[in-house]
Structure 1
Amino acid sequence: MIVSAARRLLERGSWSEVRRIGDALRTETTGGVLLLMAATVALVWSNSPWAGAYGALSSARIGPSAWHLDLTLAAWAADGLLAVFFFVAGLELKREFVAGDLRDPRRAVLPVAAAVGGMVLPAVIYVAVNGWAAGGSLAGWAVPTATDIAFALAVLAVIGTHLPAALRTFLLTLAVVDDLLAIVVIAVFYTASLSWLPLLFAAVPLGLFALVVRTRAVPGAVLGAVLLPLAVLSWVLVHESGVHATVAGVLLAFTVPAGGDGTDRAARFEHRWRPLSAAVAVPVFAFFAAGVTLGGSDGALAGPVVAGIVAGLVAGKALGVVGATWLVQRLTRARLADGLAWRDVLGIGLLSGVGFTVSLLIAELAFGAGSAGDRSARVGVLTGSLVSAAMATALLRARNRHYRRMQEAEDADLDGDGIPDVYQMQRRTP
């Protein structure tokens, strides 16, 4: 899709979209703070004299042995709670493309291209580092490709509240697309064995879920009582098939109808489930995933796996996002929106290198939970995320004062109707 020469990249979205994105950002930012706290507790505990208790808690098994559901607590967090996270991400992505500003292909092309660029280049860098180094492993090529929504937005909130809404929306949308692409990678490349019968059976509750959720005659109280068992059964069957169970969350989300009138079920489901995802699912997973022992002699602190992941997250993500944005500009002959600079795009690219939740999940799938490779990958993810966050903070905070002055002018509501005048002027501009 060729964009008009008058088109501006990262321009201001509609007022309704800005309000919706703002609500999502506040929830994800709170979740990011909880994620950081949970990861810190896990890291300190796993390197304390009581590390054995942390290991025992993570490996404790609960659940019925049928359907292979006698899982460890860590596995329940990765397979079960993250399904909620991907359900919310799927709802967000569907609403963006069906009812949000991204239903316009001219707006959608940039975050999609940036997400793809931010996944391809880190993978290439990781393969380059591990393909030539002694002791390297290509199994973790996808580890540095993911962006953590909550973690990145928490960092963005600390940097300052005066960055343009377009940059925040860009980061959120890029991260959501990134997560959905990551789940495709998990389903395609990290499914060791596939049992077709449970996967075919999963289509039955999934289809019934889609049918019921689209039937508006069903009362709300009855709706939840019917949908939840169907969703759980879909998850169980996908888990039994060998495909990672989080895929079920995305498939269920895509069946929920979305509309532009503000009363669609996707909006209500997202509003209901996002707090559970941000405040419970992601922090609990982080607690069980971040507990890597930093001591020992197994080389977890060094080696090509660590180097490839750090280089992929820090350099690959930033250059991939900036490069894809530049390519979109060149192909469409569009320009950055007034007031934005390429160093702002670089700052967002660096923030997208804050990979945590999905990166840790892929590391576990790639190397095996608790293995030396898994421990090295977790060290790489933690290190790369912290370096990316520090570099993004240094770059974007330098711009914060400039944008604060600009935003004070843009937020003026001289007629007192509750809508910033700049959006009313935007509607009147042909």
Structure 2
Amino acid sequence: MVKKTGVHALADALRSDAVGGFLLIGAAAVALVWANSPFSGAYEAIRDFTIGPSAPLHLDLTVGTWAADGLLAVFFFIVGAELKHEFVHGELRNPRRAMLPIVAAVGGMIVPALIFAGMNMARPEDIGGWGIPMATDIAFALAILAIIGKSLPPALRTFLLTLAIVDDLGAITVIAIFYTDDLKFTYLFAAVALLVVFGFLQQGRGIAAVLNRSAVPNWVVYLPLAFLIWAFMHESGVHATIAGVAMGMLMRSRIRGGEHESPLHHVEHMLRPWSMGLALPIFALFSAGVVFSGIGSMFTDTVALGVIAGLVVGKLIGILGGAWLTTKLTSAELNPTLQWVDIAGMSQLAGIGFTVSLLISELAYEPGLTLDHAKGGVLIASLVATVLASLVLTRRSAHYRKHGIPTEEPAEQN
């Protein structure tokens, strides 16, 4: 056996969702304490410091924006790659199972929005925040699941991964349609065109085959191409992390002649330590620094209460109810390694709104008490959802561990 060096051992540790989860949560805790401490000025100065070229793509962005739109795109690339693997080789290759988390995600967006709108019907000036409780923060949700659910069936993580991706795509679509004043279609079309080129190169035929056989390293082509796709997507007004998901989904997952592993597996394996050990903690550090103000009046404000009810109650009803109804009304089915109580706990975990919810809050409201209440509601709801989900899923994890219930789906019969 070849003994691993310290660098390789560290990289292997950082590939663990649990290790990445602890780093993510630790960075978020530091951000909250720092932003509400006497040294908050330093935090804001670093977060709001602008860096990058202004021309030609207006990339003179704040450190916080680079973290949320740039570094987080690396994480979303890995998520997209994982999802591609599941659709081609794993759990989601069965359409009857793939349908369930997709429909559940739609329910998990609609019900929270309706709850918020219903609670703010008497305040038409504030009803524009209906998109806030729609979003699930995939990074935090997966991190919490990795920490509390080590013995849970892998199918539950796949369910959450699929649901959260669909949820994020829905939330970003909502932002583009309802919360973006200037969507630049020229840049959007340019990003899509380059994604087509990226997908073509992944096929490994024609020009792509020549590239693979040449002495020029592939990254010399793919890295600038990926950056341009991200930059054009960002300039279009669409949240730039979509570029990461799209490129991950376009990676080739099948091995061709002469290859030891697929491009998807190779790149995912290489990038995961950077994502877990660097991208996610820095993103959390500059996204979680919400200042608590007006907390005394928060619990009498229907904006804050609508956000809390939407994320904590709406997500549970929308996801669990949507999934259950789908199995009753269609041919969709729940993975046999899972029980409905597992889906209930996972649905509660999806109530962690955080990043996208905070973003929509800033788009929906001007700076002031209402915005502070909306952000405070997101944080409180995310904490409550985490606690409730932990109560359910830790018990379920203990149940699976105690009874030795298989965590892998039995092989399908031909």
Higher mean C-alpha deviation, range 145-154 or range 222-231? 145-154
Q: How does 1:41-190 map to 2 (within 5 A)?
A: 41-66=30-55, 67-132=57-122, 134=123, 137-190=126-179
8 A contact 1:149–1:172 mirrored in 2: yes
In structure 2, give the amino acid aligned to 1:241: S
Cα displacement (A) at 1:297: 8.2
In structure 2, give the amino acid aligned to 1:169: T
8 A contact 1:29–1:151 mirrored in 2: no
CA deviation string 1:109-146 (max 9, x = no partner): 111111111111111111112223x4862332222222
CA deviation string 1:332-369 (max 9, x = no partner): 4777666854333211111111222332333334346x
Give the distance between the partners of 2:334 and 2:185, measured in 1 at CA.
Answer: 48
Q: How does 1:7-406 map to 2 (within 5 A)?
A: 27-66=16-55, 67-132=57-122, 134=123, 137-214=126-203, 215-219=208-212, 222-259=217-254, 263-295=261-293, 303-332=301-330, 341-367=339-365, 372-406=369-403
Give the distance between the partners of 1:28 and 1:179, measured in 2 at CA.
Answer: 20
Show structure 2 runs of 5+ residues with no match.
Answer: 1-11
- In 2 relative to 1, CA 376–199 (structure 1 residues): closer, same or farther, beyond 3 Å? same
Give the distance between the partners of 1:191 and 1:234, measured in 2 at CA.
Answer: 20
- In 2 relative to 1, CA 138–272 (structure 1 residues): closer, same or farther, beyond 3 Å? farther
Q: TM-score, normalised by structure 1?
A: 0.80
Q: Across the two proteins, how many residue pairs are aligned to each other?
A: 393
8 A contact 2:188–2:233 mirrored in 1: yes
Instruction: Tell me the percent identity.
Output: 49
Give the distance between the partners of 1:192 and 1:92, measured in 2 at CA.
Answer: 33
8 A contact 1:89–1:180 mirrored in 2: no
Q: TM-score, normalised by structure 2?
A: 0.83
8 A contact 1:136–1:305 mirrored in 2: no
Cα displacement (A) at 1:24: 12
Q: Secondary structure at the match of 1:142?
A: helix
Give the distance between the partners of 1:153 and 1:391, measured in 2 at CA.
Answer: 15
8 A contact 2:73–2:242 mirrored in 1: yes
8 A contact 1:63–1:69 mirrored in 2: yes
In structure 2, give the amino acid aligned to 1:278: M
Show structure 1 runs of 5+ residues with no match.
Answer: 1-22, 412-421
- In 2 relative to 1, CA 260–353 (structure 1 residues): closer, same or farther, beyond 3 Å? farther
Give the distance between the partners of 2:36 and 2:341, measured in 1 at CA.
Answer: 38
The aligned residue for residue 3 of structure 2 is none
CA deviation string 1:262-312 (max 9, x = no partner): 933233333333333333223222211211221358966762222111111
Q: Secondary structure at the match of 1:258?
A: coil
CA deviation string 1:72-97 (max 9, x = no partner): 11122222222223322322333322
Give the distance between the partners of 2:368 and 2:61, measured in 1 at CA.
Answer: 18
Give the distance between the partners of 1:100 and 1:342, measured in 2 at CA.
Answer: 21
CA deviation string 1:176-225 (max 9, x = no partner): 33233333333333332023333344445434333333324423962111
Higher mean C-alpha deviation, range 134-143 or range 306-315? 134-143
Give the distance between the partners of 2:363 and 2:112, measured in 1 at CA.
Answer: 18
Q: What RMSD over aligned residues (CA atoms) do the two structures have, in Å? A: 3.1
